Chains A and B, each alone.
Chain A
Amino acid sequence: MRNTCEHCCTKIDNLRVELGANIILDNVNLHVDCGEVIGVVGPNGAGKTTLLRTILGEIPYQGNIAFRISGSPAKKPKIGYVPQKLQFDLSSPISVTDLVASAISRKPIWAGVGKGLSEKVKGVLSLFSAEHLLKRRIGELSGGELQRMLLAIAMTSEPELLLLDEPASGVDVKGLSLFYRIVDDLRKKHDIAVILVTHDLAGVSCYVNRLILLNRSVIAEGVPQDVLSNEKLVKAFGPTLWNISCLPNSISKEDNNGNH
């Protein structure tokens, strides 16, 4: 199990989370190098969402979570977060511009989004093939469009660590493949570390550098092919045939020239 941290990474040491009498996470050690995408998989109730919420600082924990970059003291990583789902009322009159603007600006958007801010929002969305969504209500977006908008918002804070919570849920295959391609592009361009929590085992394997099998603690870790053939994973998920036939633009083909 690789547990080193090279020039720049986010490192989680001895993480333990208790909720009441239950131990949700115990002795979790993992690190994500900058420019690396790791996928966290595990059965229901394995603590995947708790792990994300702990990194986000929403749940008290024991242990250490730190961002290290060579030559600087360790600190808390700057986090970008893409939630799994939004709990808003679908008929809410919140437009895409509204949500992005309220995340990146302090100017109250109910009083109107000015031209300058509106251009800024457009700029943010255009990086994620989403500028055509500007005037749509967020309740009208498809799963994939919603994910891209949320990713655009997350990236505006220039995060050191990007957390993606179940990006596959409610997104069709085409939208998901576009989403993963954009994430891959981000990691390369911005040297950003990405933790991706998902149920979509087979799909995600093509787009991550490493896969982590989590069930209260890290059960297995390594390149996707190794982890997927791990007997513990078969035990956790049941015997399923994993058909890994990655698309040409998956992460394992590093020579992909990034066509967007």
Chain B
Amino acid sequence: MAIIEVWYRLINLLPFSWSHYVFMKNALLAVLLVTPCFALLGTMVVNNRMAFFTDVLGHSALTGIAIGVILGIQDPTFPMIVLAVFLAVAINLLKDRTKASIDTVLGVLFAFIVALGIVILSRQGGFVKYTSYLIGDILAVSPQQIIWFFTITIVVLGYWYMAGNALILTSVNPSLARSRRVNTFLIETSFTIFLALVVIVSIRLVGILIINSLLVLPAAASRNFARNMHSYTLGAVIISIFSGITGLVVSYYWGTASGATIVLFAAALYGISALSGRWLIK
């Protein structure tokens, strides 16, 4: 908590009207912690063409909340995480064992999981209570949650440091990775579990509807000019943090939903990189 106090004082030094509000200080810190995580994980999501998969994970939050309601749990974070991790592992196991295309499997699952969640939550017309999950609210983030984000960021960074090379090898060719003594099952499973965890924990910030774009956009934008994994990762992290800060501050002045504003900036950066990438790289 002492760190958060120091952070508050630092932000107080800034000459802006928003920098004096505690909720903005908290939100800014949350953004700085979460956006690099999303950028790192996103580089592999885009490389492995898993954007639809992570979208399913994000939307499973609806059913996770519903399970929480049925069980009478106040804070649905736990059932949300359990369901998303279960789905992530199950899809990962299924993808090599099914003859149907993975796109179709995910499409069916997506429809089912969203419909199930809405049906349970809308009993007796109660769905309105849960709409805040759809668009998220960064400004409501608490210091306790920030401690959580801090822990998760450290764990993801550690994981990325240790498993980064194995993830690249596995994404290029699993047999090649196995011949280099990579436990590809462990690598693929742990990666999907981290995805589920980070997506679900951040749902309250950005919302179910657009959480996936935070994973996909920075990496997709960085790809337009990256020549190797280093510049790709660095580009994604910078784009992610930049759109996070800009989106948050601009949403303060515009009075708009912060999550969506952040995503809008990330999308704009993607557009710019796609156009300029063509000129920069032959």
Contacts and interface: CB of A to CB of B under 8 A. Distances in A.
Q: Nearest 7 A-B pairs (CB), nearest first?
A: A102-B165, A81-B179, A93-B226, A108-B164, A95-B228, A110-B233, A93-B232
Nearest to A101: B165
A95 to B, nearest CB: 4
A97 B228 contact: yes
Interface stretch (B107-115, B166-174, B198-206): B166-174
B175 A83 contact: yes
Contacts of B228: 93-95, 97-98, 113, 135, 137
Q: Which of B162, B164, B166 is most buried by chain A, counting CB atoms within 10 A of its CB?
A: B164
Contacts of A103: 165, 169, 176, 180
Given A83-B175, A94-B229, 8 more contacts: A81-B179, A87-B172, A87-B173, A93-B223, A93-B231, A98-B229, A108-B160, A153-B176
B49 interface: yes
Contact of B175 (A56, A91, A111): A56
A89 interface: yes
B99 interface: no
B47 interface: yes
Interface in B151-195: 160-162, 164-166, 168-169, 171-173, 175-176, 178-180
Interface residues of B, number: 30
19 contacts: A57-B178, A58-B175, A83-B175, A86-B173, A86-B176, A92-B171, A93-B231, A94-B168, A98-B228, A98-B230, A99-B172, A102-B168, A103-B165, A103-B180, A108-B161, A111-B164, A138-B172, A150-B176, A154-B179
A106 B166 CA distance: 8
A113 B178 CA distance: 23
B43 interface: yes
Interface of B: 40, 43, 47, 49, 160-162, 164-166, 168-169, 171-173, 175-176, 178-180, 222-223, 226-233
B227 A110 contact: no
A157 B165 CA distance: 16
Contact of A88 (B172, B223, B231): B172
A105 interface: yes
B177 to A, nearest CB: 9
B165 A108 contact: yes
A53 interface: yes
A88 B47 contact: yes
A111 B47 CA distance: 17
A186 interface: no
A112 interface: yes
Contacts of A98: 168, 228-230
A95 B231 CA distance: 11
A109 B179 contact: no
A87 B43 CA distance: 17
Interface string A142-160: 0000000010011001000
